[in-house]
């Protein structure tokens, strides 16, 4: 079986690894990952929107010619499946790309289009391009049921929901992880946030809540430690809590989640965030972490009071109370840990997603 996967970044990029690579590596298939732009150039030239006008034109032409060449190669050496992550090129859907995909469809290639964000609002594709791609695709996979609303009614029969999940993390949650968390619980509460630079603006709004919570825990003889795992630091001089800025690396992020007591996912309520797929929340659940999240988008569908709390807005007292509600009683917190991993196994587990992928690609289990 030949599979071509069109992506915007390298295989280890989160969207590629968690949406495709971790599943495709388990299949007997010849998989080719086609980069819209090589990683070394992506670091220099992306995002295009921040480049000067003439450089934008150069980058667009470069990507167009690169993707066009790859699509012509597909026509000459037809894959069984062609998977497109989000888009083939920024904003547009050139006729020459459409012709190549039509030829491939006529020759039997199954085209799978996957997106896990509100890509129209983010201006990654135009309304017209989005509609045309949904018509050309044989299968449309989305990371949230809410994203199905973007698809025209006559194309919705093509849509499948694949929650973005982590196929490695759940194997690491065991009695030893819980033992270490319980040992530190009486002296120090560790709250973790894992994310990218764009999400720091949401986390920074919770600083007043951390100060309030830290003061409350300090009066009980406990330390509040906030773990920020990101490519960029959260710049703040804390008074009532300890702020640990940790440079993101996958292995380090995993170790810190194993040590933590609570996972955070704050968001503002916008068109963009309502299209997010709750991966951070699902990843926390896969390592048995109770969570406190914003009551926005996919979080509303995932969140249950048995393993965490959902908060509206960024009011410091609401966030303080929600977190304190989970950490003020060790027995309640421990039950939330076990309920978190149980909910993940029942509704978001890797094996179920893998079986969906195998059925979609007609691979024998």
* CATH code of 115's domain: 3.40.50.2000
Q: What is the pLDDT of residues 212-255, one digit of tens each?
A: 999 999 999 999 999 999 989 999 999 999 999 999 888 899 99
Task: Name residue, tokens 């989640």.
Answer: 257
Q: Which CB contacts under 8 angstroms, 24+ apart, belong to 237-246?
A: 238/207, 238/210, 238/211, 238/214, 239/211, 239/214, 240/210, 240/211, 240/212, 240/214, 240/215, 241/210, 241/211, 241/213, 241/214
- Indicate if 191 and 239 belong to the same structural domain: yes
Alpha-carbon gap, residue 277 to 195, rounded angstroms: 14
Distance of CA 5 to the CA centre of its chain: 18
Residue 242 forms part of a structural domain: yes
Q: Name the pTM for this structure.
A: 0.91
- Indicate if 147 and 219 belong to the same structural domain: no
- Indicate if 173 and 319 belong to the same structural domain: yes
- Indicate if 196 and 323 belong to the same structural domain: yes
- Indicate if 137 and 224 belong to the same structural domain: no
- Indicate if 200 and 325 belong to the same structural domain: yes
Return the pLDDT at 364: 64
Residue 365 forms part of a structural domain: no
Q: Which domain holds residue 160?
A: 2-165+350-360
Residue 27 forms part of a structural domain: yes
- Indicate if 135 and 260 belong to the same structural domain: no
- Indicate if 114 and 254 belong to the same structural domain: no
Alpha-carbon gap, residue 123 to 117, rounded angstroms: 11
Residue pair 356/362 in contact (Cβ under 8 Å)? The answer is: no
Total number of domains constituting the chain: 2
Residue pair 311/195 in contact (Cβ under 8 Å)? The answer is: no
Q: Which residues of the chain have pLDDT under 50?
A: none
- Indicate if 94 and 161 belong to the same structural domain: yes
Residue 342 forms part of a structural domain: yes
Alpha-carbon gap, residue 291 to 256, rounded angstroms: 15
Return the pLDDT at 262: 98
- Indicate if 260 and 296 belong to the same structural domain: yes
- Indicate if 161 and 203 belong to the same structural domain: no
- Indicate if 79 and 179 belong to the same structural domain: no
Q: What is the pLDDT of residues 107-164, one digit of tens each?
A: 999 999 999 999 999 889 999 999 999 999 999 999 999 999 999 999 999 999 999 9
Residue 98 forms part of a structural domain: yes
Quick one: tokens of 179? 């033992």
């Amino acid at each position: 079986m030949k599979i071509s996967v069109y992506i915007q970044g390298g295989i280890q990029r989160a969207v590629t690894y968690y949406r495709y690579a971790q599943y495709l590596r388990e299949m007997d298939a010849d998989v080719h990952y086609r980069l819209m732009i090589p990683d070394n150039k992506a670091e220099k030239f992306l995002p295009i929107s921040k480049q000067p006008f003439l450089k934008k034109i150069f980058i667009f032409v470069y990507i167009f010619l690169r993707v066009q060449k790859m699509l012509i190669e597909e026509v000459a050496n037809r894959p069984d499946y062609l998977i497109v992550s989000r888009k083939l090129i920024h904003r547009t859907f050139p006729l020459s790309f459409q012709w190549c995909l039509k030829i491939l469809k006529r020759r039997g290639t199954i085209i799978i289009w996957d997106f896990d964000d509100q890509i129209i609002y983010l201006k990654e594709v135009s309304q017209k391009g989005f509609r045309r791609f949904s018509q050309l695709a044989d299968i449309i996979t989305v990371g949230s049921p809410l994203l199905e609303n973007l698809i025209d009614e006559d194309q919705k029969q093509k849509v499948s929901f694949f929650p973005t999940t982590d196929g490695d993390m759940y194997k690491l949650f065991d009695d030893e992880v819980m033992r270490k968390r319980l040992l530190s619980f009486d002296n120090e509460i560790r709250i973790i946030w894992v994310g990218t630079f764009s999400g720091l603006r949401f986390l920074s709004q919770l600083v007043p809540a951390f100060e309030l919570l830290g003061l409350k825990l300090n009066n009980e003889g406990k330390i509040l430690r906030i773990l920020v795992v990101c490519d960029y630091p959260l710049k703040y001089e804390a008074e009532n809590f300890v702020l640990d800025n940790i440079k993101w690396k996958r292995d380090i992020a995993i170790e810190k989640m194993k040590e933590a007591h609570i996972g955070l996912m704050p968001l503002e309520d916008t068109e963009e965030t309502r299209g997010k797929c709750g991966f951070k929340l699902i990843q926390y659940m896969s390592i048995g972490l109770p969570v406190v999240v914003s009551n926005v988008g996919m979080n509303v569908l995932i969140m249950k009071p048995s393993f965490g709390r959902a908060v509206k807005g960024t009011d410091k007292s609401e966030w303080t109370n929600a977190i304190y509600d989970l950490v003020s009683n060790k027995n309640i917190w421990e039950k939330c840990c076990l309920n978190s991993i149980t909910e993940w196994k029942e509704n978001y587990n890797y094996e179920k997603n893998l079986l969906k992928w195998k059925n979609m690609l007609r691979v024998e289990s």
